[in-house]
């Protein structure tokens, strides 16, 4: 069976290297292994208030990053979620299948709603829409970071429940979580994930950060008490995080990185780390600047939405039919 991959990154903040390592980089590799649908979940972004101008801008930027990082729009559909109405429609249908209890156990909701007064109802039902995103395309594999595992489990449960109740309609997808880099942690605190929502800008490296800033941020990154560059999440979480970043950007294995820096202190390690990151981001930043404001990008998104809608509408129709919604 050919594999079908689907995934997306929310346009809710500027893309950082956590999202690049945990998601985008993998998307690029998967093009060689099957059919791909890479979209921008803007309907998910608006579950928390967004500034309209920024949302519009970030959506373009993210699409440009998909292409700049190496996703080939000639081979794969790249599209905005809100351009394919079937997402919202199947999202509603999946809400009818989800139980209040299981939705209440979603840790991302608990984290994002903790201590807040006016949390939107959509933030709560968010995972049902995510299930719809995936099921519409019959995705067999969903590459995501570690934090999305629970949402994938729920998607599988909802698909199975629907199939058992109404007959086989959906493909039950497999999560794909890579080993190294599944969870890139903040440079200021190795106990919380590197996140674009963190108010401390030194905690993350943005894909658009200039070389000078990247060097500065890495030089300030927290380390652990002893001085060796050793990979051990138990006792050396901060350094282990930096080793993973080095490994991904240099293409060296974890063991190789340790060996490379044997007997050296943190100073040199951080310097080389900054250089491999700068070097890897440079061509991506250049390509990004070329396309972000181009009409070509509009054309790619329009074509992507058309291709996606063809597949999505068919699945939506089958789901409606299976449930007994009157089709004409």
Please say which residue, 145 or 190, places its beta carbon nearer to ligand ATP: 145
Site string for ligand LTN, 79-118 (x = CB under 6 A): ----------------------------------------
User: Is 112 a known active-site residue?
Assistant: yes
**71 contacts ligand LTN (rule: CB under 6 A):** no
**237 contacts ligand ATP (rule: CB under 6 A):** no
Q: Which of 196, 217, 236, 270 is catalytic?
A: 196
**41 contacts ligand LTN (rule: CB under 6 A):** yes
| Shortest CB 17 distance to ligand LTN, Å | 15
User: Is 259 a known active-site residue?
Assistant: no
| Shortest CB 130 distance to ligand ATP, Å | 10
Please state, in angstroms and rounded to a whole number, the distance separating the CA atoms of residues 260 and 250: 12
Site string for ligand LTN, 192-231 (x = CB under 6 A): ----------------------------------------
Q: Which of 3, 116, 193, 259 is catalytic?
A: 193
Site string for ligand LTN, 135-164 (x = CB under 6 A): -------x-x---x--x-------------
From candidates 144, 229, 297, 305, binder to ligand ATP by CB under 6 A? 144
Select the binding partner of residue 197 from ligand LTN, ligand ATP, none (C-beta < 5 to 8 A, by kind). Answer: ligand ATP
- 3-state secondary structure string across the chain: CCEEEEEECCCCCCCEHHHHHHHHHHHHHHCCCEEEEEEECHHHHCCCCCCHHHHHHHHHHHHHHHHHHCCCCCCCEEEEHHHCCHHHHHHHHHHHHCCHHHHHCCHHHHHHHCCCCCCCHHHHHHHHHHHHHHHCCCCCEEECCHHHHHHHHHHHHHHHHHHHHHCCCCCCCEEECCCCCCCCECCCCCCCECCCCCCCHHHCCECCCCHHHHHHHHHHCCCCCCCCCCCECCCEHHHHHHHHHHHHHHCCCHHHHHHHCCCCCHHHHHHHHHHHHHHHHHHHHHHHHHHCCCHHHHHHHHHHHHHHHHHHHHHHHHHHHHHCCCCC
User: Is 193 a known active-site residue?
Assistant: yes
Please say which residue, 245 or 311, places its beta carbon nearer to ligand ATP: 245
CB hemisphere CA count around 15 (13 angstroms): 31
Catalytic residue positions, numbered: 112, 193, 196
Rule CB under 6 A: which residues touch ligand ATP?
9-10, 12-13, 18-19, 21-23, 144-145, 147-148, 182-184, 193-197
Rule CB under 6 A: which residues touch ligand LTN?
6-8, 10, 41, 44, 130, 133-134, 142, 144, 148, 151
């Amino acid at each position: 069976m050919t594999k079908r991959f689907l995934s997306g990154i929310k346009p809710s903040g500027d893309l950082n290297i956590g999202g690049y390592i945990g998601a985008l980089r993998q998307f690029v590799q998967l093009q060689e292994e099957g059919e791909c649908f890479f979209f921008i979940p803007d309907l998910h972004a608006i579950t928390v208030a967004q500034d309209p101008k920024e949302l519009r801008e970030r959506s373009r930027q993210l699409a440009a990053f998909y292409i700049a990082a190496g996703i080939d729009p000639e081979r794969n559909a790249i599209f905005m979620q809100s351009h394919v109405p079937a997402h919202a429609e199947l999202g509603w249908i999946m809400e009818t299948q989800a139980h209040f209890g299981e939705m209440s156990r979603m840790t991302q909701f608990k984290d994002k709603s903790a201590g807040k007064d006016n949390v939107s109802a959509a933030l709560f039902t968010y995972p049902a829409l995510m299930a719809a995103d995936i099921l519409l395309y019959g995705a067999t594999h969903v590459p995501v970071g570690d934090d999305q595992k629970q949402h994938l489990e729920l998607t599988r449960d909802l698909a199975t429940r629907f199939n058992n109740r109404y007959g086989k309609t959906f493909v039950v997808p497999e999560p794909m979580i890579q080993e190294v880099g599944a969870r890139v942690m903040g440079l200021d605190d190795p106990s919380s994930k590197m996140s674009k929502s963190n108010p401390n800008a030194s905690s993350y490296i943005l894909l658009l950060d200039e070389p000078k800033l990247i060097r500065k941020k890495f030089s300030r990154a927290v380390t652990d008490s002893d001085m060796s560059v050793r990979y051990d999440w138990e006792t050396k979480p901060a350094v282990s995080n930096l080793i993973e970043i080095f490994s991904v950007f240099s293409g060296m294995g974890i063991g190789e990185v340790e060996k490379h820096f044997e007997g050296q202190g943190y100073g040199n390690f951080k310097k080389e780390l900054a250089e491999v990151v700068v070097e890897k981001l440079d061509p991506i930043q250049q390509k990004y600047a070329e396309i972000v404001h181009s009409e070509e990008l509009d054309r790619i998104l329009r074509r992507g939405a058309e291709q996606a809608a063809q597949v999505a509408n068919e699945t939506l129709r089958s789901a409606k039919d299976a449930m007994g919604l009157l089709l004409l």
